[in-house]
Amino acid sequence: MYVFKCTKLCRRVAHHNVPDRRPRVVKMEEVGTEGDMENAEPLSAENYAAEAMAADMDPWIIFDARKTPRAEFEGWLESNRPSLVSRYGDEEGGTGPVGWIAVLGPDHCPSTGDVAGLQEGWEKLLPSGRPISFQTVKELALNHGVLTGKWLMHLDTGFKVDHAWESIARAVLDGKIAQAKVSPRCPKPDNKHVICVYNQAFTDEDQVMRLDAVIRAAGVKCPLSYKPDVYTYLGIYRNNRWKLCPTIYESKFDLECVPRRSHIVNKVTSTEVT
């Protein structure tokens, strides 16, 4: 078992690559903020970004399949079920806060994107007067090679999240998914866990669709939403001032269709992809 603690701060959000820089994870994507969860009282994008940074700065529990014997996986998985790991720790039990629980696959490669350059470009763009749109953000991401993204799923604590996380974690261990993470249990009322499953390029629609298929093949049937990491790095969450939707795809699994499959909608173009 590995515990990772981030020590570097970006101006707007924490880095998300692991193990060199923790997984591009949610950043909200976090502990209930990735994917922008519904709350009783709406929070600003700045509030979501602050929560995301706090989670990223706390220690992570990581199973790195590149370094850890496969024989240790079962014990690690059982000991670190998301429903049992507390986000803020337990002083009486002697455990500290945990930002994320993550699994890195045997072929995982940290992203080489220029996050600092991306954020500098964003700071220059804001006062330029240019319209802020998905295309503007996409152009910035392409220019700096920050292309990773993730499918998000939000699940109740207990059996639902533990079962889904086990399925996803095993797919990562088998090399079908490069990396994934899940938020620990949060004491806030009605706060759900978020599982983030990553791919290399949000600009490659075929790649995004293939990852959805892998998630569904693992047995996950709940609704999914897809968020480019560039939005997380720039602090663009729900209720942002530019009225940008931080997720660009939506996937709903059709149990009545034969054969069963996902119905995926591109939220940017409002078109059905599958």
Q: Mean of the pLDDT values across residues 195-217?
A: 98
Q: 149 with 201: CB under 8 angstroms?
A: yes
pLDDT of the residue at 64: 98
Which one of 23-27, 52-56, 129-133, 186-190 scores highest in mean pLDDT? 129-133
Tens of pLDDT along 85-120? 999 988 777 789 999 999 999 999 988 899 999 999
Query: What is d(CA 251, CA 254) in angstroms, rounded to the nearest whole number?
Result: 10
Its pTM stands at 0.83
Omega before residue 259 within 30° of 0, cis: yes
Q: What are 192's two structure tokens? A: 């759900």
Q: Strand 100-104 relative to strand 60-64: parallel, antiparallel, unpaired?
A: parallel
In the predicted structure, residue 37 carries a pLDDT above the cut 50: no
Homologous superfamily (CATH) for 2-272? RNA Cap, Translation Initiation Factor Eif4e (3.30.760.10)
pLDDT of the residue at 34: 52
Q: What are 89's two structure tokens? A: 């720790």
- Nearest residue to 133 (alpha-carbon basis) of 236, 19, 271: 236
In the predicted structure, residue 165 carries a pLDDT above the cut 60: yes
Going from N- to C-terminal start, the domains of the chain cover 2-272
On the CB side of 235, how many CA atoms lie within 13 Å of its CA?
19
In the predicted structure, residue 213 carries a pLDDT above the cut 80: yes
CA 18 to chain centroid, in Å, comes to: 13
The CA distances from residue 65 to 111, 182, 188, 264, in Å, are: 17, 17, 32, 31
